[in-house]
Amino acid sequence: MLIKALRIGLGQLVVFADWVSRPRKLKRSPEAQAEVERATANLALYQFHACPFCVKVRRTLHRLNLPVQLRDAKHDGEHRQALEQQGGRIKVPCLRIEENGQSTWLYESKAIIAYLDQRFAA
């Protein structure tokens, strides 16, 4: 029980540190931002709120100004089930990419960040 309380406390500390030190959003023209919003409509990030690796990916989403759907795989049974059944395992962060009627499930924060930087960085 003490370990669980410590883990929850550290998780909240990580979330707070992220909030305090959040990077600036990338500025785009309204037309370019509208194009990014169309491209991100097919993306969803399955995550746990206090997971440090998920925080790392969310910081990248914020920095790149990407409006990606966040899906809580810890407290939302429907999202957790989708992650397990369609993605193959319950592991976060996981980026679901819908393209041409097919779903790709990208695990690992470094891989997700590399994908986002490569596709959306200025």
Domain contains 99:
yes
Residue 33 lies in a domain: no
Q: How many domains is the chain built from?
A: 1
CATH number of the domain enclosing 70: 3.40.30.10
Q: What is the pLDDT of residue 23?
A: 87
What is the pLDDT, as a whole number, of residue 64? 96
Residue 13 is predicted with a pLDDT of 83
Token couple for 72: 């809580």
* Closest C-alpha among 91, 89, 90, 98 to residue 69: 98
Residue 14 in tokens: 């990580």
In a domain, 28, yes or no: no
Per the domain annotation, does 30 fall within a domain? no
Ranges of residues in the chain whose predicted pLDDT is under 50: none
Query: What's the DSSP call for residue 122?
Result: -
Taking the C-alpha atoms of residue 78 and residue 73, their distance in angstroms, rounded to an integer, is 8
pLDDT at 121 (0 to 100):
86
29 part of a folded domain: no
Residue 15 lies in a domain: yes
Query: Does some domain include residue 34?
Result: no
Quick one: pLDDT at residue 110? 98
Domain extent at residue 19: 2-23+39-120
- Alpha-carbon span 27 to 108, nearest angstrom: 27
